Amino acid sequence: MNQNTISKLGLKIRVERQKQKISQEKLAEFANLNRNFIGMIERGETNVTVRNLENIANALNLPVKELFNFII
């Protein structure tokens, strides 16, 4: 993934999390990830593995492919 895609993916995760009124801390808990890591993903500072992406999608009750439906 290039940096632009990573940033868009992070923003999409943030938008979906905020639409559901879930804090980064709660999303991290539901996805079995560290809250700081969620923040880094949302800011586009780190790439995310498929496994972690699947955990995030499940925590948001979304199919993984929906996270790639960028609104930008």
- Per-residue pLDDT tens over the stretch 32-65: 999 999 999 999 999 999 999 999 999 999 999 9
Residue 1 has what pLDDT? 65
What is the SS3 assignment for the chain? CCHHHHHHHHHHHHHHHHHCCCCHHHHHHHHCCCHHHHHHHHCCCCCCCHHHHHHHHHHCCCCHHHHHCCCC
Rounded to two decimals, the pTM is: 0.91
- What's 54's domain CATH number? 1.10.260.40
For 40, the domain range is 3-68
Q: pLDDT band at 30, cuts 50/70/90?
A: very high
